[in-house]
Amino acid sequence: MKKFLLSAVLCLFFSSSAGAAMRVDIYGPGQNIVNLALAAPITGPQREAAGMGRNLQQLVEQNLSFLPFMRLTNPKTVLGGTVLAGYEPPNLDFRRFQLAGSDILVTCYWPNGDSGTNAVQLRAFETNTGGRLFGKEYSRVSSRDLPEVADRFCADLLEALTGSGAFFRSTLAFVKKTGTMRADVWLVKPTGRDLRQITNMPGEALSPAWSPDGRFVVFSHIDQKSHALGVWDSGSKKVQRIRFPGNVVIGPAFMPDNKVAVALSNGKYPVIFLLNHVFQKERILEQSDSINVSPTFDRAGTKMAFTSSRLGGPQIFLKDLGTGAVTRVSRNGTYNTEANLSPDGTLVVYSRMTDYGHRIFVQDMITGIERQITYGPGSDEQPSFCADSYFIAFASTRGSGRGIYLTTRHGGEARQVPTGGGQASFPRWSAPAQ
C-alpha cells in the first residue's frame, strides 16, 4: 500500500518548480477565487486514460470541491476540449484554458498506461505564464492507492497555493452517538473518506482530542457510575480508561509537548489540570471559585483559551501561560462556550447561545473584532480549527440529526462531512500527517 509513497519521495527531482509564484491569500479579508482546470488524464498524446486515470480524476475533483476559494472549470467550456497533446510545455495549449477563465491547469499523465500497477505524473501550471507550480510522480500505483494519491497531490497543490496543505493531511476525530448514554469515537478524513470506529465501550465518549504526534486520541468517558479519561493508542489500537479522584473529567486537550490538560474535580469546582506524560496530575493550570473547563492551546503552547463562569454565565477567557494573566475574550451574549484557539494563536472560535440555537463566532485576538460565521438553521456547536488556522469543523443540527460540517475563518457556505449516518459531533482535527 505504501510503496508508491516512497517512490513519490524518491522522485523529488521531478517536482522542481519553474519559479511560478502564484499564491492565494486565504487569510486576508479579500480572499480571492482561483479557477482550476483539470486536463483529461492521458496515457500518451491525445490518448485519454479511461481506467485508473478517470477514477483518480474524480477523486481529485471531489477533493478540490471542498476548497471554498477554488472553482473547477467546466470541461465543456474549454474550446477544443481537455484531452491534450502532452502533459507539459511546449505541448500544452494554455490559451484554451485561459479563454475558459482558468488560472491553473493540472495535467495527469500515465506513461505506462493506467491499468494494473503503474506510475502517474501530476503537474500544476499557471496558465497565464505557463510556469509550473509543482509536479509529482507516484510510482507503482494500484486502484486502492488512488484515494491516498489524490489526497497527497491535493495537499501539495494546496500547500503550493496557500502555504499549508493541512486540510488534506489531517484526520478528524469525532463522536458518534447511538443511544442514550452510548457514544463512541470515530475517525474520518475531512473529505469523508477513511471512516472508521476506534472505540467500542459501554457509556458515552465526548470531547476527543488528538495528540500532536498523532499517536493518541484522548476523550472524556462517562458511564453510569463515573467519569474517566479515555486514551486510544493508535499503535496498539487499545483504549485505556483512567479514573481520577473526584467526579468529573471534562474536555481534555493536548499541549504541544504531548501533555494533556483536562478539567477535574478539586473541591467545589472543576479545575483545569495539566497531566504528565503518564496521565497523572502534574499541576493546576487554572482555577477560581467558578466553573473552569474546555482548555485549548495555540501551536506554541503559550496561550490557553477556556470557558469560565467567574463572571456569572459562561464566557471565554484567555490565559497567557507565560505571565499568568487572564483576559476576557467574549464580551457579547450571556452564554459563550466551547472555545478553540487557532493554532497560529490569532483567532478564538466559540459558540454562543442565541434565541435560535447556538451560533459560531470568531474573535480576532489582534483587532478584538468579533464576527459571526454560522447562521444555522438548528444549532451550531463545538468549533475546531484545522492546523492551517483556516478551516473550521463544527457540529450542527441543521440537517437531519446532528452532523459534522466544514466552514472557514471567514464563514461562508458550510459543507457536510460524510460520516455514515448516526448523530455525529465533537469534531477535532489531527495535526497534519507528514
Partner 1 sequence: MKCYTLIFALVMALAAGFGCAKKSAEGAYDDGLTPEMRAAIQQITDARVYFAFDKFDIKPEYKDMLKAKADLLKRYSTIRVRIEGNCDERGTQEYNLALGERRARAAYEYLATLGVNPGQLEMISYGKENPAVQGSGESVWSKNRRDDFRVVAH
Interactions with partner 1, residue window 271-300 (CB under 8 A): 291, 293-294
Nine-digit cell at 125? 501550471
| Dihedral angle of Cα 179, 185, 188, 192, to the nearest 10 degrees | 10
The residue range among 63-71, 136-144, 160-168, 265-273 that interacts with partner 1, by the rule CB under 8 A, is: 265-273
Nearer CB in complex with partner 1: 339/365: 339
Alpha-carbon distances of 274 from 260, 262, 263, rounded to whole Å: 6, 7, 9
Residues within window 296-325 making contact with partner 1, judged by CB under 8 A? 307, 309, 313-314
Of 135 and 383, nearer to partner 1 (C-beta) is 383
Rounded to a whole number of angstroms, the minimum distance from the CB of residue 328 to partner 1 is: 16
How many CB atoms within 10 Å of residue 346? Answer: 16
Q: Which is nearer to partner 1, 105 or 360 (CB)?
A: 360
| Assigned C-alpha cell, 169 | 493531511
Q: Which stretch binds partner 1 (CB under 8 A): 34-42, 147-155, 211-219, 242-250?
A: 242-250
Q: Which is nearer to partner 1, 191 or 384 (CB)?
A: 384
Q: How far is the CB of 399 from partner 1 (least distance, A)?
A: 17
381 near partner 1, rule: CB under 8 A: yes
Residues 6+ apart with CB under 8 A from 2: none
Residue 293 CB, shortest distance to partner 1, in Å, is: 5
Pick the closer one to partner 1 by CB: 146 or 183.
Answer: 183
Position 384 contacts partner 1 (CB under 8 A) = no
Contacts of 300 (CB under 8 A, 6+ apart): 256, 345
β partners of residue 380: 396
Q: Toward partner 1, which CB reaches closer, 270 or 345? A: 270
Residue given cell 466544514 in the structure block: 406
**How far apart (Å, rounded) are the C-alpha atoms in residues 110 and 431?**
32
- Taking CB under 8 A as the rule, does residue 338 contact partner 1? yes
Q: Provide CB contacts within 8 A for 254, sequence distance 6+.
A: 209, 210, 211, 212, 216, 218, 260, 261, 297
Verify binding: residue 24, partner 1, rule CB under 8 A.
no
**Contacts of residue 21, Cβ cutoff 8 Å, sequence gap at least 6:** none
Vertex 413 angle, CA 373 and 171, to 5°: 85
Smallest separation, CB 183 to partner 1 (Å): 8
Is-cis flag, bond preceding 314, omega within 30?
no
From candidates 210, 269, 297, 361, binder to partner 1 by CB under 8 A = 269
Write down the least CB distance from residue 209 to partner 1, Å. Answer: 11
Query: Which of 55, 77, 265, 423: binder of partner 1 (CB under 8 A)?
Result: 265
* Single residue of 191, 351, 363, 419 touching partner 1 by CB under 8 A: 351
Stretch that binds partner 1, among 2-10, 37-45, 330-338, 367-375 (CB under 8 A): 330-338
The four Cα atoms 90, 95, 98, 104 give a dihedral, to 10 degrees, of: -10
The single-letter DSSP state of residue 53 is H
Residue range at the interface with partner 1 (CB under 8 A); choices 10-18, 111-119, 136-144, 261-269: 261-269
Counting residues that bind partner 1 (by CB under 8 A) gives 37
Locate 362 and state its grid cell: 470568531
CB of 250 to partner 1, least distance (A): 5
Contacts with partner 1 in 177-236 (CB under 8 A)? Answer: 180-181, 204, 206-207, 220, 222, 224-227
Q: Which residue, 180 or 367, has its beta carbon nearer to partner 1?
A: 180
85 forms part of the interface with partner 1 (CB under 8 A): no
Q: Out of 270, 343, 345, 432, name the contact with partner 1 by CB under 8 A.
A: 270
C-alpha cell recorded at residue 188: 474520518
- Kindly state the DSSP code that residue 277 receives in the 8-state scheme: T
Query: What's the full length of the chain, in residues?
Result: 434
CB-nearer residue toward partner 1: 127 or 379: 379
Residue 382 vs residues 125, 139, 294: alpha-carbon distances, Å = 38, 40, 11
In a 13 Å sphere around the CA of 405, the CA atoms on its Cβ side amount to 29
Give the CA distances from residue 209 to residues 72, 213, 231, 260, 293, in Å, rounded to whole numbers and listed in that order. Answer: 34, 12, 10, 9, 14
Task: Give contact residues for partner 1 (rule: CB under 8 A).
Answer: 180-181, 204, 206-207, 220, 222, 224-227, 247-248, 250-251, 263, 265, 268-270, 291, 293-294, 307, 309, 313-314, 335, 337-338, 351, 353, 358, 381-382, 425-426
